[in-house]
Amino acid sequence: MVVLSSGAPGAGAAEQPADAAPLDERVLVAGTTLRFVLILALLAAASVSMIPRTVWHLLASPEKANLEVACYLAAGIDPSVSANASFVQSRRQPAALEECTARFAQDFTLVSVGVGLVALAAASAVYRLLPLWRTRRTRVVPLDIVDVHGRLRPLLDELVTVAGLNRTPRFVVDPASRTTGAVAFGRPRRPVIRLDGGLVVTADGEQERFRAVVLHELAHLHHKDIGITYATVALWRVFLVLVLLPWTAVGLDVLLLRGSAEVRGMYAPFNTHAQLLGGLLVLAVYLSRLEILRHREIYADLMAARWGASAQPWEDGAARQHAGEGWRRPFVRFAALWRTHPAPALRRASLADPKVLFTLRALPLLLTGLAADILVWHLNALLYEFLWPGAVLVAGLVVGIGGVALWRAVLYALRAGRTVPSGWSVGLWLGLGVVVGELTGPRAAMNQWLPAHPEALLILVAALVLLMTWTTQNAEWWLRARREHPPGPAMLAGLAVPALAYASVQYWWRSVGEVLTDGWPFTTAGVLASYGLPGLPPSDLGPLWHVVAVLGLLPGTLTGAGSLWWAQVLLWALPVLALVAASRPGGEGARGGGQSPVAGLAGGLTGGIACSAGLAVALAWLRDAELGDSGAVGPLRLAQMMVPVLVICAAMALTAAVVAALTDSGWLTTGLMAAGITALLGVVAAHILVRANAGSGSSAVAWSLSREAHLPYAVALGTPVAGLAAFVGRGVGLAGRGVALLVRRVTTRRKGGPHPDARPAPVEERPLRPKWRRAVRLAAVGAVVTWIGATALAVDVSAASGRVSRPALVPDRPAPEPSAAVSRLQHQAWAAAGGLERIEALRTVELRYSAAFTAVGEATDDAGFLQAMDRVTDACGAMDQATRRAGAYLDVPSAAGQRIWTRVLTRHREMTDTCRALAMRPDPTTAKAADITHQNAIDSVDAMSYWLAEKGAIRPK
């Protein structure tokens, strides 16, 4: 297993000496509950997603199901092209497509809910029955039957008292078991400990072992392990049998057996991805569960030792176990992944130093990223309204699990005097898990074998790397500054911030970002038009408008409160709060690994001044620029919003990069803090400048803070951009220092001076004077209050009318032409899903009209004539209705076919008109006109039928 112990360059070892006593593993939460929650959420979401699919495939009528699929083909959707192209096609005639699919839709929601409830009831039953099954009469016997000498019961009572348990467990014995172990199970209110026969036999001779084993099991009860463990076991077993197995069978049927080979092949990529994702789900849940259990074992060992258990059983276990050497080592490590218990040597070592509980390991992080990504896929089954709660759930779990691991690692490093981990590697492993899930599952590639642009997934990886690095630096700062305080509350705040920030990234990704895995599906004109402002898109699309269009797609596009853009504010507001804490007398954060308050403030102020200057120049340029057609306010208005956003984001990025390059420890948090101050000053400057500009010029636009989008854009886009720029700045700074060191070394060698390896003595940082401390604190509090107030105002009015906002962003790049085979299928589908039916309906009303028309000619008296005319009138109405119904149907999925179909519709509309004229004024002229249009209509329908037959869409008569 890869161990992530690489230190951040320059992070440096903690200054305080290593503590003599091993770190108490309970100093921070273990994080295993969150991982269990992830597993349970994954199983629940997968069930919600898989059960309806299985039920549908089992119960749905194949004919109707095929016709529903045919609707999509009839709408011109090509299954072999990218998801974006399909989406574009589906948006061309949404009403017709919806009507078509609704006609053939088969709803089994009630059955699915019923199956879900049965599965839930089954899981509950398994959870309750498992302990009964394990304590059945042919398996175990009560302790008192075996305790023939009466010595075990008092000993066990004593151990229970030592453990201080509220509830005394029931002890049973498996007399047939030869091992000297025990196991805890049952339910939290009815715990059971089963002693193995071998343990009972050796209880007298090896009492230390007996005590250690029982205390270990009591520790599991103390840690409340049995409830969550066996709940997971029950849910997992029921999920496997009632959900996954039927789902897999149905999936394989769809993939390999059902329908024609041609259609199966067409949808093979999607169905294969779905099956692979099912396999990955099993792997992720299974390995995660075992990994968590291994962790819990070490916690139980430590607690048992704390209660006085002898270390001898662990020593013996380690002595018996031979670690794999040489070429066997990878196999031994691989085998260890599938075990419920850690290696004995590790358990023995952990008794002395539980560093394994604080070490960052790659596999759990990879599995977390993977499980979270699968969770996202299954959450898609939920309604779109649940997008933000889903994003918060996923982000909370991913960042919570990675973040708790990081906080523990940082704490251990500080207490043990070791190198503080960097954090970026945690983000990398989490991100790698996400990427594996995306590439294996159908989310990114949909019905392709691989997404066209998988590099877009790096956005998610970058976000995780950024947030995990931030978490590390923030954790280090708080743990240093508040050494005497319990770290729990600080950790909670320190994890909530990146979790919300990642939730906002997730929200953007699922709303807009994920289409990028398919390439750039937008056109500049389409994006600009989507703002709905007069004069957009302008006739001349220069570079400025391309930039504005791209800018409008990045995070910040979505400025509703539910998009959580405001969470980005917290990424630098929390470091500012840390600054306040640092300026307090006795605060330790100003020294050592924390962010530098001076660098942050100075950098922010400088950046703000530069930003204001840039804004003044940009707005002055805008005032004189010719934007769009004269008289249209849209281009100017959009430019006045986007150009300041661009300037503010650039200033934030530059500030963060420079500050990160010049700062040693806490470079990211300090850089973000400076970028935040820059943004704050920039927004204020933009507001003032735009208001000043608004009063002058012919195209004056009224502005107010509540109607501007600077703030959401600047924060939601500028903060992550500044964070990434800080990474670049950090890299440049390190490279610069490396070059400087090299130059100094060469120069010193030439001069024959002392060896430059001798590092210069650290310069002791002068503490700030009290009045400066107060000033810093005031400034920081002011900045945070201003920012939060402004943010709250922006959130509050995010739905206000009059803002520059976009209702919906739709990819609009057209799809390529389909192949001949797909085209034939599309035409067949068009005919089958309703085209032929409408043609026949037109024919029927034509005949009805003919009959009525003939009846008019053959009428011999007035009454007969009037009756025949009534029939004509009815036929006109039916013709009108049939024509309208045909017109509302999907277009023919080819230009040639659509031309003929349009002619059919036109001819029938003409026929309807002449028919009505005849009904109103029956005379030879109207009769002749009606006869001509009738013939034309018949000809057009025949032509359509011939064309479809020729295309292979229908069988020729």
Partner 1 sequence: MDVEALRVRDLVRQVVTEVAPEELPLLAGLAGFDDATAVQRLGGEVRRREPLGFGLGEVAALVTPVVWLAVDQATQQIVGTWVQNRVARTGAALRRVFRRSASEPVVIPPLTREQLVLVQRSVLTMAAQRGLEPERAAVIADAVVTRLVLAEPEPEAAVVAEVEPDGPPELLAPRTPVRPSGSALPDAPVQPNEFTRRDGVPEGPEQPDEPTRPAGD
Asked if 302 interacts with partner 1 (CB under 8 A), we say no
**Choices 93-101, 108-116, 215-223, 442-450; region in contact with partner 1 by CB under 8 A:** 215-223
| Residue 327 CB partners (closer than 8 Å, separation 6+) | none
Q: How far is the CB of 360 from partner 1 (least distance, A)?
A: 24
The one segment of 26-34, 294-302, 559-567, 705-713 that binds partner 1 by CB under 8 A: 294-302
Task: Please say which residue, 205 or 760, places its beta carbon nearer to partner 1.
Answer: 205
> Nearer Cβ to partner 1, position 152 or 610?
152
From 57-65, 200-208, 714-722, 779-787, span contacting partner 1 (CB under 8 A): 200-208
Q: Which stretch binds partner 1 (CB under 8 A): 18-26, 176-184, 243-251, 268-276?
A: 176-184
- Answer for which of 173, 393, 395, 856 binds partner 1 (CB under 8 A) is 173
How far apart, in whole angstroms, are the C-alpha atoms of residue 89 and residue 91?
5
DSSP 190: E
169 vs 487, which CB is nearer to partner 1? 169
Of residues 45, 123, 200, 611, which one binds partner 1 by CB under 8 A? 200
Among 87, 236, 314, 477, binds partner 1 (CB under 8 A): 314
672 burial class (0-12, 13-18, 19+ CB within 10 angstroms)? buried
293 contributes a contact to partner 1 by CB under 8 A:
yes
- Backbone phi, psi, residue 240, to 5°: -60, -45
**Cβ neighbours of residue 308 under 8 Å, at least 6 residues apart?**
162, 211, 215
Extract long-range pairs of 347-352: CB within 8 Å, 24+ residues apart. Answer: 347/297, 347/298, 347/301, 347/314, 347/317, 347/318, 348/311, 348/314, 348/315, 348/317, 348/318, 350/298, 350/301, 350/302, 351/301, 351/302, 351/305, 351/311, 351/314, 352/22
Q: Which is nearer to partner 1, 138 or 260 (CB)?
A: 138
Q: How many residues does the chain have?
A: 957
CB of 333 to partner 1, least distance (A): 17
- By beta-carbon proximity to partner 1, the closer residue of 139 and 707 is 139
Which of 93, 101, 168, 202 forms a contact with partner 1 (CB under 8 A)? 202
Nearer to partner 1, 199 or 413 (CB): 199
602 binding partner 1? (CB under 8 A) = no
Q: At closest approach, how far in Å is the CB of 728 from partner 1?
A: 47
Cα–Cα distance for residue pair 341/600, rounded to 1 Å: 47
Does position 630 interact with partner 1 (CB under 8 A)? The reply is: no
CB of 148 vs partner 1, minimal distance in Å = 5
**In terms of CB distance, is 8 or 199 closer to partner 1?**
199
Residues near partner 1 (CB under 8 A), total:
52
Q: Report the residue number, 226 or 581, with the smaller CB distance to partner 1.
A: 226
809-812 long-range Cβ contacts below 8 angstroms, 24+ apart: 809/512, 809/522, 809/527, 809/530, 809/552, 809/553, 809/557, 810/87, 810/88, 810/91, 810/526, 810/530, 811/84, 811/87, 811/88, 811/515, 811/521, 811/522, 812/88, 812/521, 812/522, 812/523, 812/526
Question: 304: which 2 tokens?
Answer: 């048992």
Nearer Cβ to partner 1 (201/577): 201
Name, in order, each residue with C-beta under 8 angstroms of 193's C-beta and a sequence gap of 6 or more: 169, 170, 171, 172, 182, 183, 184, 214, 217, 218, 221
Q: Residue 45 or residue 221: which is nearer to partner 1 going by CB?
A: 221
Q: Tell me which of 8, 42, 50, 146 binds partner 1, using CB under 8 A.
A: 146
Task: Establish if 291 lies at the interface with partner 1 (CB under 8 A).
Answer: no
Among 25, 68, 78, 196, binds partner 1 (CB under 8 A): 196
In whole angstroms, the minimum distance from the beta carbon of 795 to partner 1 comes to 46
Please say which residue, 290 or 732, places its beta carbon nearer to partner 1. Answer: 290
Nearer to partner 1, 221 or 399 (CB): 221
Q: How far is the CB of 282 from partner 1 (least distance, A)?
A: 17
- Residue 778: count of CB within 10 angstroms of its CB: 12
Rounded to an integer, what distance in angstroms lies between the CA atom of residue 497 and that of residue 573? Answer: 9
| Distance in angstroms (rounded) separating the CA atoms of residues 957 and 955 | 6
Q: Which of 216, 510, 637, 951 binds partner 1 (CB under 8 A)?
A: 216
- The residue within the footprint of partner 1, chosen from 86, 89, 229, 474 (CB under 8 A), is 229
Q: What is the C-alpha radius of gyration for the chain, rounded to an integer number of angstroms? A: 36
Tokens coding 361: 């390991």
The phi and psi torsions of 301 (rounded to 5 degrees) equal -60, -50
CB of 445 to partner 1, least distance (A): 36
Looking at residues 336 to 365 of the shown chain, list those that interact with partner 1 (rule: CB under 8 A): 339-341, 344, 347
Q: Which residues pair with 421 in a beta bridge?
A: 7
The yes or no reply on residue 227 touching partner 1 (CB under 8 A) is no
| 572 token code pair | 């630098």
Residue of 36, 127, 171, 185 interacting with partner 1 (CB under 8 A): 185
Name the pairing type of β-strands 190-196 and 182-187: antiparallel
- Residue 152 CB, nearest approach to partner 1 (Å): 9
195 strand-pairing partners: 173, 182
Q: 16, 61, 161, 179: which one contacts partner 1 (CB under 8 A)?
A: 179
- Residue 287 touches partner 1, criterion: CB under 8 A: no
CA distances for 188 relative to 130, 225, 295, 510, 728, angstroms = 13, 9, 20, 39, 51
Contact residues toward partner 1 (CB under 8 A) are 137-139, 141, 145-149, 173, 175-185, 196-202, 204-205, 213, 216-217, 220, 225-226, 229, 233, 293, 296-297, 300, 313-314, 316-317, 320, 339-341, 344, 347
